[in-house]
A and B are shown apart, each in its own frame.
Chain A
């Protein structure tokens, strides 16, 4: 009998546990909780020390920068600074900060505390100097210049609410860089309390306050009722980490999450056909292309480069390989200001391509190499190998015989970035600060002072007229004038065709239909979440 009771206890225990497990929804949720599903965890939430999207998603709800992007745009508007002025020579930026704003830990926000935080970026003697930290990913030198090159910005606290930066050279994109999530202002008290690393205890001034992070499971944030931009319309945001895209989709349909940070093309129809859901879509701040060695082999001749652009059917590739999830490219992302609306992508025109090749002295075509990688990238969700094969197929029709070599991503970067390769290479770029200079300058400009291509100008494109336009645009503070200069540069770039310009990966998100006020931002971050409500 004793034994029987053992079994009974065991069975009833199991049944009890099961009942506990199955019964009803979990505990009461606070009034309005918005759950956002993301595919991977943040790797840290200290803005100056990370660069990955997932960290950015979360940080864009916790932090303000000195200036912020306007809702839904990559144009810069007020942030912690209410207003600013730029000197006539374009080197001195003076910011007037807001009064009465506090960090989430109660530390007052003023010129002194903001300077304390940014000092980590520019002062090698600061005990928390970011660049001295082991293997850190940082935008600090991108924004403020490099101490070793003697190009670093000078920062002065003029009075309690005035902060001034002096740059060694005129640089209009500085303002855009200051607005990045990666330059969000952390409470200096937190940095001090956590021994220079508050990345798991972030304290900002933004619309949401950090509550907790359970590694690889979720991050919880509560509304900051005192937010200077108005009280957020939801009480809580939870970023839920769900690596499987099929699971994420199920969760959205079951209303376990209300926003998906990304949606695979195969699910577009499923979202659009469901009345309870809404699809958000716009061309992304990215570019994908096939770089050509502008200084080596037949590609020195721009007619050959143009011929390559005519010979590839970008729309067919967009439909066939990318399931329509991309927008054909003319050299610059259409969401960027300075984009020249009068310039269209190269049309698919085999006859034109053949004629240009013949003109350049290759009537029978030519043979060359192509480097590809297999893994997906943010700007190329299908990976480089499939795109390479498609391009190879199209170019064969105009007599170009391509030998493809595939490399593992790490090896690919080594070869592509540090060796004088010849032929084709799959390449791309994701925007950093939403400034046109960040595409036209970083990717295609020649460094005149050093007499070589800029680091990311991997196709070694060199056109003095183009370089002059970019330099002038950096020295101009008037936004309208800058826009004009970039439009001209965009035209030159298109005609010079340093890459086969392929496409821009669309930024696609999905949300429940009752989510109101949610706007995509070209920077692909979750800015201005204080405006989002659940009806």
Chain B
């Protein structure tokens, strides 16, 4: 198992190298001089030369790439052109927010999705089944930005129950520990912070998680139906087990494997969906950082964000693979 994990982690290197080549040269293919872009319609020729030189833009592209790569190997992603803070610092500010959002969305998707899926399979062709499956179909079909705006309008605008975006109340003097306010609040035992961050988290998590939730519910229902029709379930029932135990203990565990695969696939969607969700709900995460940086042609930042996002994606998929082993003892990695 450890050998497997090590091998998978080693595979990360060529993947990231490929990604770095694509991003680096992609950013440099876009027409226009970054130094000029930085100065906008101001600045003198001397300013232009100074900035080109300071950013190393006056060197051949391959030299720039090698310098970039050498920096990355030392853990130095360079300095953001837009904010002039280290790229790693900016990512450090944004990543915890995205992780917090994605995990909250994932929890919502898995808990609610499985609940609906299992209940629908338990009472097939009932009103509950048909109703929830129609609801789920709508959920699958609605894009994140639409769900998000709708939730924001209804719960934030019309009903006024929840804040209209942001990550935390600005007057709380939030002290950053990990950068994920919910976790920071829990660690510091500060309930005002926890409350405020949960209030800010509910809508975006539901918006982002709803597509995954719908997919999980549908998958959960169909695999559950298959499993419930199998012989060992009949045996379990025949030996007099309580129905609840049959469903939760015997059927669910066996129905979970395809669902976990689905969750793994949905992780990618959650990460890309975060870009839109973060913009709609004004969350300071990695997605929004990526958008702002692309628009500003802040290429060290874009390279950093894409590389980190790729790494997160690969590692998350690895975690899913590892999870298989615990769910299904028949699976072994050599």
B-contacting residues of A (Cβ < 8 Å)?
A: 3-4, 10, 14, 17-18, 20-22, 26-27, 29-30, 33, 35, 40-41, 43-44, 49, 51, 131, 133-137, 141, 146, 148-149, 197, 199-200, 211-212, 214-218, 220, 236, 238, 240-244, 247, 250-251, 254, 256, 377, 407-414, 417-418, 427-429, 432, 455-456
Contacts and interface: CB of A to CB of B under 8 A. Distances in A.
B167 A214 contact: yes
Given A146-B46, A247-B282, A254-B160, A409 B111 contact: no
A44 B89 CA distance: 13
B189 interface: no
B68 interface: no
B288 interface: yes
Contacts of A408: 30-32
A10 B111 contact: yes
B176 interface: yes
Q: Which 9 A-B pairs have the closest CB atoms?
A: A410-B32, A216-B284, A238-B170, A215-B93, A411-B31, A218-B170, A43-B83, A27-B192, A411-B32
A105 B50 CA distance: 34
A429 B248 contact: no
A197 B169 CA distance: 27
A134 B80 CA distance: 10
Contacts of B166: 217-218, 240-242
Contacts of B176: 214
Contacts of A51: 42
B194 to A, nearest CB: 8
Given A20-B195, A216-B284, A135 B55 contact: yes
Contacts of A412: 32
A212 B32 contact: no
A120 to B, nearest CB: 15
B137 interface: no
Contacts of B194: 20
B199 interface: yes
B161 interface: yes
Nearest to B296: A43
Contacts of A414: 31-33, 36
A126 B280 CA distance: 44
A322 B84 CA distance: 34
29 contacts: A3-B248, A21-B162, A21-B195, A26-B169, A43-B82, A197-B84, A216-B94, A216-B288, A216-B292, A217-B167, A217-B168, A220-B171, A220-B173, A236-B171, A240-B170, A241-B166, A242-B282, A250-B164, A256-B163, A408-B30, A409-B37, A410-B33, A410-B36, A410-B297, A411-B31, A417-B36, A418-B36, A428-B41, A455-B43
Interface of B: 30-47, 50-51, 54-55, 79, 81-85, 90, 93-94, 111, 152, 156-157, 160-174, 176, 192, 194-196, 198-199, 201-202, 244-245, 248-249, 279-280, 282-284, 288-289, 292, 297
A44 B83 contact: yes
Contacts of A134: 54-55, 79, 84
Residue among A27, A133, A242 with the highest chain B CB neighbour number at 10 A: A27
Contacts of B283: 216-217
A26 B196 contact: yes
B172 A27 contact: yes
Contacts of A410: 30-34, 36-37, 297
A29 B171 CA distance: 6
Contacts of B244: 3-4
Contacts of B37: 409-410, 413
B85 A136 contact: no
Contact of A200 (B85, B163, B164, B172): B85
A214 B164 contact: no
Given A3-B244, A135-B55, A413 B279 contact: no
Contacts of B162: 21-22
Given A243-B282, A408-B31, A455 B167 contact: no
Contacts of A135: 35, 38, 51, 54-55, 79, 81, 84
Nearest to A215: B93
Contacts of B202: 18, 21
A197 B84 CA distance: 10
A51 B166 CA distance: 25
A33 B162 CA distance: 20
A21 B163 CA distance: 10
Contact of A215 (B34, B81, B94): B94
A29 B169 CA distance: 10
A241 B282 contact: yes
Given A17-B198, A26-B199, A408-B31, A238 B171 contact: yes
Nearest to A10: B111
A251 B170 CA distance: 14
B82 to A, nearest CB: 6
A414 B244 CA distance: 70
B193 to A, nearest CB: 9
Most chain A CB within 10 A, of B164, B192, B201, is at B164
A254 B164 contact: yes
A139 to B, nearest CB: 9
A433 B35 CA distance: 23
Given A27-B171, A135-B84, A146-B46, 14 more contacts: A17-B198, A20-B198, A21-B162, A27-B169, A29-B171, A135-B38, A136-B84, A199-B85, A216-B288, A217-B166, A217-B168, A254-B164, A413-B40, A417-B41
Given A3-B245, A243-B279, A417-B36, A251 B54 contact: no
Contact of B164 (A141, A247, A413, A456): A247
A126 B190 CA distance: 44
B62 to A, nearest CB: 21
A244 B165 contact: yes
A181 B271 CA distance: 39
Contact of A27 (B44, B157, B163, B196): B196
A518 B80 CA distance: 35
A197 B83 CA distance: 12
Given A20-B195, A214-B174, A410-B297, A243 B161 contact: no
A197 B33 CA distance: 26
Nearest to B203: A21
